[in-house]
Amino acid sequence: MNAFQKNKSKETLFTFIPAGDDPPKGGFSSQKKSPKLCGTNYPLSIAFIVVNEFCERFSYYGMKAVLTLYFLNFLHWDENLSTTMYHAFSGLCYFTPVIGALIADTWLGKFKTIIYLSIVYVIGHVIKSVGAIPTVGNQVVHVVLSMLGLALIAFGTGGIKPCVAAFGGDQFEEEHAQERSKFFSVFYLAINAGSLISTFVTPVLRGDVKCFGGDCYALAFGVPAALMVIALVVFIAGSGMYKKTPPRGNILLEVCQCIAFAITNRLKNHSKQIPKREHWLDWASEKYSKQLINEIKMVTRVLFLFIPLPMFWALFDQQGSRWTLQATKMNADFGGIVFKPDQMQFLNPLLILIFIPIFDFGIYPLINMCRFNFTPIRKMATGMILAGLAFAAAAIVDVKINDPAEYSKLMLNGAQQNLGFELQSQGSVSTFYHTVQEKSVYSLIVYKSEGNLSSHLIADMETKPAKGLTAVRFINALDQDVNVTIGREQIISINKNYSVSDYTTLERGKYSVQCKTEAKEVTLDLGLLDFGASYTIVITNTSANTIGAWKTEDIMANDVHIAWQLPQYLLISAGEVMFSITGLAFSYSQAPVSMKSVLQAGWLLTVAFGNVIVLIVAQAAPLEQWAEFVLFACLLFAVCIIFSIMGYFYISVDPEDLPEKEEEKEMPSNGNVISLVPQKTKL
């Protein structure tokens, strides 16, 4: 197994190679040799590249980990819009690598491209961090700064993605291929380490550090910005040791031009008198070599197989959006240690590091021992099934989270109805009439006024508070008005004689309130206001002639623990190992050396289009969350069937056989000539 197969799939080698050239190997005799690392064959320059990659990945994943909750809680967008913008940003990050590769291979070269786009990257981070400071401008300013910052970040991170790994490979001498292979293993270890640490740390900076009277998003974005500055400084510090290759042309651009010419030429020559050609790409033979055309034919066969793949990424990338939003509605208390909902994302890189050796050295060998032909297509289809099951598990969890509160249900005659309530107390019976609306929930307050029974019907909160918050309202049972101060200096005025305040949403925690009347001011302890619960606090006189409070729980607190998300993370991570790593290795094996970068572009674009699918569904078909999870699971199962059928008819090829077949095909053959087929001998 090569080093590429052992690493996390979301980050890939992405170097564009001109047609007919060999992949970059790092042997450039015209340049001085780089100093070696501790007496080994590893160039010292790669240490700067690895540290740069760790800091850059920390920067990217750390910022992205808190992005959905930033949209939700800071910009006050709803869940659908927050999900849409999260996936729009993610998709843009996977469209821009194609632009970065074009810039590097046709204009600036890898080194300058990394420097210039890293500067753009840093500027985007700074703008994003400033936009998260509450005192800077109004809501419009925050949105504008946030969108501008994210656009620059997407261009920066996507632009350098195809350059850094390939630039590291360029540093090695041609005879040090084994060291280069190990370098890529260390390189992707740095990626996973940056992702793992940042997705755990930045939610802590957001939630546990308070600034400007709330969650410190400015710090949560500022620390990744500082890491990106360090990444840039470290990369520049090693500039004197790097081997820098000049731009050598871009094969992706040449492939697109060849395809465009073939289509245009075919449309121009649509007459029936013109002989048909065996393949539509053969219409490019007037301008492009037969070798290039045949290589593109091989690539298009694999790209056709890529068509169903975006649906997997549509599910996979929702870990940072829908699954994070789901976590906000769950109980995250682990025996006194409270996890942040956006911290759960760290499970994916952690599980990937655990699963890769388990699959490579355990599961796959066991399957082979059973003489089952577990082909790459079957592995990828199995990965799709696991991802679909992960969303089925997420749907079950979501149904349990949103169990309705226990109320007595009444059947009405219409949209509203006047109901009679008969109350019996101390031998006397009183009847009250109240109008109720359909699909609403109410509480009936019964009290004595001037010796007689009275009642109020008040509307209750119908659903759990959003974002994992807690909700509280107050009933003033005193004979004088009262002002209640709770949370961040929120003052609630409540009139006397059983008047009711509106609900106030707060973060989970233990609270006490200042209760002030005309005569006195007291502090009332409310105790723990828990995740997702709604409470009614009745302020009343106690037997000791002091002001007291008693608390009722209208909607039960979140009783589904966040640990129940673990099965869905296990399934989606196992699916990623089987789908993504296998898919990349398979597609690499099916293309000529000069075309592997084209497949990398195609692979990254499947991720981009997967995010486009999510934002379309989030905006066009708003559903209950559990129903949306089921929809995505069913879509992926359907796509899995289509992909399996396509894979059944796909015939694997060896790209090294292509020149041999071409030579055999072009040898003259007639009755007077013996057909000779040249053979290659491998030593």
- In this structure, what are the phi and psi dihedrals at residue 556, rounded to the nearest 5 degrees? -60, 150
When comparing pLDDT for 255 and 406, which is higher?
255
**What CA–CA distance (Å, rounded) separates 122 from 227?**
9
Return the residue matching tokens 């109805």: 417
pTM over 0.95: no
**Digit-coded pLDDT (tens) for 186-215:** 887 898 899 999 999 999 999 889 898 788
Q: ∠ CA 537-541-547 to the nearest 5 degrees?
A: 75
Helix (H, G, I), strand (E, B) or coil at 296: helix
Banded pLDDT at 11 (limits 50, 70, 90):
low
Q: ∠ CA 84-89-94 to the nearest 5 degrees?
A: 125
Banded pLDDT at 19 (limits 50, 70, 90):
very low
**Digit-coded pLDDT (tens) for 243-252:** 888 887 778 8
pLDDT value for 659: 52
Bridge partners for 528 per DSSP: 510
**Digit-coded pLDDT (tens) for 482-512:** 999 987 667 788 998 889 999 998 888 889 8
**Digit-coded pLDDT (tens) for 120-130:** 999 999 999 99
Mean pLDDT of 80-86: 94
When comparing pLDDT for 364 and 189, which is higher?
364
**What CA–CA distance (Å, rounded) separates 106 from 254?**
11
In percent, the amount of the chain with pLDDT more than 70 equals: 90
pLDDT value for 37: 76
Banded pLDDT at 360 (limits 50, 70, 90):
confident
Residue 471 near residue 533, CB atoms below 8 Å: yes
When comparing pLDDT for 532 and 82, which is higher?
82
Return the residue matching tokens 């109410």: 442
Residue 499 near residue 474, CB atoms below 8 Å: no
**What CA–CA distance (Å, rounded) separates 17 from 247?**
10
- Residue 399: is its pLDDT beyond 50? yes
When comparing pLDDT for 620 and 637, which is higher?
637
**What CA–CA distance (Å, rounded) separates 219 from 225?**
9
Residue count of the chain, please give it: 683
- Residue 559: is its pLDDT beyond 60? yes
Banded pLDDT at 665 (limits 50, 70, 90):
very low
- Residue 27: is its pLDDT beyond 70? no
In percent, the amount of the chain with pLDDT more than 90 equals: 44
Banded pLDDT at 589 (limits 50, 70, 90):
confident
Percent of the chain as helix, strand, coil, to the nearest 5: 55, 15, 30
pLDDT value for 658: 58
pLDDT value for 598: 79
Looking at every residue in the chain, the average pLDDT score rounds to 85
When comparing pLDDT for 595 and 535, which is higher?
535
Helical segments of 370-433, H only? 376-401
Instruction: Copy the structure tokens of residue 521.
Output: 């001011």
**What CA–CA distance (Å, rounded) separates 359 from 378?**
15
Instruction: Copy the structure tokens of residue 5.
Output: 């197969």
Return the residue matching tokens 């899995």: 640
Q: Which element (helix H / strand E) includes 259?
A: helix 251-268
**What CA–CA distance (Å, rounded) separates 388 from 314?**
11
Identify the DSSP state of 331: B
pLDDT value for 404: 66
The alpha carbon dihedral of 664, 667, 670, 673 has a sign of negative
When comparing pLDDT for 541 and 564, which is higher?
564
Query: Packing angle between helix 596-620 and helix 290-306, nearest 10 degrees?
Result: 30
pLDDT value for 602: 86
Residue 332 near residue 207, CB atoms below 8 Å: no
Name 391's Cβ contacts closer than 8 Å, sequence gap at least 6. 315, 568, 629, 630, 632, 633, 636
Instruction: Copy the structure tokens of residue 413.
Output: 């005659």
- Residue 4: is its pLDDT beyond 60? no
Q: Among candidates 227, 237, 236, which has minimal Cα distance to 60?
A: 227
**Digit-coded pLDDT (tens) for 431-445:** 889 999 998 899 888
Residue 228 near residue 125, CB atoms below 8 Å: yes
pLDDT value for 1: 41
Instruction: Copy the structure tokens of residue 307.
Output: 């068509």
- Residue 522: is its pLDDT beyond 70? yes
